[in-house]
A and B are shown apart, each in its own frame.
Chain A
Amino acid sequence: MRQERFEAEQAPPWDEYQRLLARLEGRPSARGAPSGMDLGGFPRLYRQLCADYALARGRGYSPGLIADLHDLVRRGHRRLYQRRSRPFASALVFATDTFPRTLRRHARLFWMGLGLLFLPMIAMGLAVHADPEIIYSLIDSAQVAELESQYDPAGRKPGRETDRQADTDFAMFGFYIMNNIGIGFRGFAGGLLFGLGSALILVFNGLSIGAVAGHLTRLDHGGTFWPFVSGHGPYELTAIAISGAAGLLLGQALLAPGNRTRLAALRLNARDAVILVGGAAGMLVLAAVVEAFWSAGPAPAAIKYGVGAVGWVLVALYLGLAGRGARGS
């Protein structure tokens, strides 16, 4: 069949296809609710067009025609294979199901991340508690002095200020969001350096938290420090460990790819890792809320400890059990 006849014969479906395509490519709001026109025929038209394109190439029709058909095919391909996203529903499934299940699948790495965070933390805490000089190897003296004054039970300090304003809280909230989640994300990305970056970030965070805690406790500032951190600690520390574990997952793909190529392993693991990071980010947002609005609040220490304990239980229950139930009901 000659090109011109071919074009003439196929013109009606092509026109129809282009009409539908123009509609699909319209504004996103219009895309959501196809009214008036039936889009059901689109896949059929698309397949037809694909066949025509293959024919045109096989028969050596003019390059211009082939290029035009290819453009149409590509635009249709973009629309037809678009992933539909339902943000709210998928967020629900993500929180109750996907995230905890994925984490449990990589429980070994999670424990590793937790270990990398907590072991240096505890060791450093004990060391600093025993020997006051060690902290200066990690944190410079000006910062140490600032920390001391911040948590000094005698002075005015943001941690215990009873008349702290709501807007200050809010500013702190913004800061925590920016700072802490950034740490989490970087811990994840560092995994691409064969897991070293993640491990380093975990260890250094552990060391500095441990050092601060040990130092303040030794100075008898524990009475202000511990109630402050107890509220958000469960969420924040776990989330940092989880995002570190996500980074380790990337590193694992590069160091021990198993039967896959490194690239394939990396892709596979990255898919899970980003789920872990997403969950960790959610937990960090929760931690930021608690830290900004509750930890600095005026409640007595006992209640704060209680809330902290409940938080640990909740986190453990959530990570251990959520999503274990029947699926897809």
Chain B
Amino acid sequence: MHQPEADPGLEIERAAERLAALETMVARALVGQKQVIRESVVALVAGGHVLLEGLPGVGKTLLARALAAAVAGHFSRIQFTPDLMPSDVTGHAMFDPRSEEFRIRRGPIFCNLLLGDEINRAPAKTQSAMLEAMQERQVTIEGRALPLAAPFLVFATQNPIEQEGTYPLPQAQLDRFLLKVFVDYPDLNEELALVRQATQGQIGDQLDISRVEPVISTDELLSLQGTASRLGMDDSVLDYAVRLVRAARGWRGIETGPGPRASVALVRAARGHALAGGNGFVTPDDVKIMAPATLRHRLKLTADLEIEGYRPDDVLRDLLADVPAPRV
């Protein structure tokens, strides 16, 4: 059993404050989309990568850039295209004829926050080079392993698969994203506000992140992640998370279930969510709220459900309703 910290109150309160400030700051740029922002912040705190999916123009890139602006760190952005090579992401070695040695030229992946735009437009080779780096948190160039910066977080956006010229990410590699966040169209009021904001004193339709200021440093983010990882968690909650993932494996309508890495991810995300909510401990609610985002990209529906147009979220909803929660 994980004992909570002796006097966690202050630390957690401060952490929640910082996170709330972060959320407010991001919300300045991205109107509405409360849940999307919350889930992104949770990923930040849990130290996991995020896959953002949504139609073009719903603010995926804006979200990532706003987050980057709010966290004072080194930010880079890669636009994935069909001709992007792995070395364009990771970097490469150049031969220096004078010293007869190879010199390493680091690619854009050496940063704190990486925005991978339209990752599913790149061919599988490039995708896997990047996902490999995300997993190992290091890059091997010319036989030398180079560690990536800490924190290192990837926000990758992808268009829905049916769009033209996209390569679906392999199931196994999707596992490397902690969360998959759906960015949907904003509702009417939010869209009104969005349009109003985007047309005021704005030339062209550039992304407006000028009003976002850095509120958290990378060191602070690292310590927040530490706080989150120490958050108390009762065995029954842990058990609930694992039961959810295991249930998804044998569930009707699910062809391939989530692997063990999913349980770990779910627990990490729940911790992050608890911290973002200002709680000093993790409740089953945190687990349940984070479950769709954590699991939806780790499972594959059976062909008949897919043809009928069901999405993983539909099945997950049933599953969450049916797996008994640990109440007493």
Chain A contacts to B: CB under 8 angstroms: 1, 51-52, 55, 326-329
- Contacts known (A326-B250, A327-B252, A329-B250); A51 close to B257, Cβ less than 8 A: no
Contacts of B302 in A (CB 8 A): 327
CA distance A3 to B143 in the complex (A): 14
- Residue in chain B with minimal CB distance to A47: B140
List chain B positions with a Cβ less than 8 A from chain A.
101-102, 140, 142-143, 249-250, 252, 255, 257, 302
Contact A1 B249 (CB under 8 A): no
A327–chain B nearest beta-carbon distance, Å: 7
- Report the 9 A-B pairs with minimum CB-CB distance, sorted nearest first: A329-B250, A326-B252, A328-B250, A55-B143, A51-B143, A328-B249, A51-B140, A326-B250, A55-B142
Rounded to whole angstroms, the CA-CA distance of A55 and B141 in the bound complex is 10
Q: How far is the CA of A283 from the CA of B17 in the complex (A)?
A: 69
Considering only CB atoms, which chain A residue lies closest to B249 in the complex? Answer: A328
- Of A52, A327, A328, A329, which one neighbours B143 at CB under 8 angstroms? A52
Most buried by B among A51, A52, A327: A327
Query: Chain B residues near A328 (CB, 8 Å)?
Result: 249-250, 257
Q: Which residues in B have their C-beta under 8 angstroms from that of A51?
A: 140, 143
Which A residues are in CB contact (< 8 Å) with B255? 327
Pick from A55, A326, A328, A329 the residue with the most CB of B within 10 Å.
A328
Other A-B contacts than A327-B250, A327-B252, A328-B257, 14 sampled, CB-CB below 8 A, are A1-B101, A1-B102, A51-B140, A51-B143, A52-B143, A55-B142, A55-B143, A326-B250, A326-B252, A327-B255, A327-B302, A328-B249, A328-B250, A329-B250
Nearest CB of A to B278, in Å = 40
Residues of A within 8 A of B252 (CB): 326-327
Instruction: Collect the chain A residues with CB atoms within 8 Å of residue B143's CB.
Output: 51-52, 55
Q: Can you list 8 A-B contacts (CB < 8 A)?
A: A1-B101, A1-B102, A326-B250, A327-B250, A327-B252, A327-B302, A328-B250, A328-B257
Q: How far is the CA of A327 from the CA of B143 in the complex (A)?
A: 44
Bound together, the chains give a CA A173 to CA B258 distance in angstroms of 48
Determine the distance from Cα of A326 to Cα of B253 in the docked complex, in whole angstroms: 9
Most buried by A among B142, B249, B302: B142
CA A1 – CA B99 in complex, angstroms? Answer: 10
Inter-chain contacts of A329 with B (CB < 8 A): 250
* B66 vs chain A, min Cβ distance (A): 38
CA distance A52 to B142 in the complex (A): 9
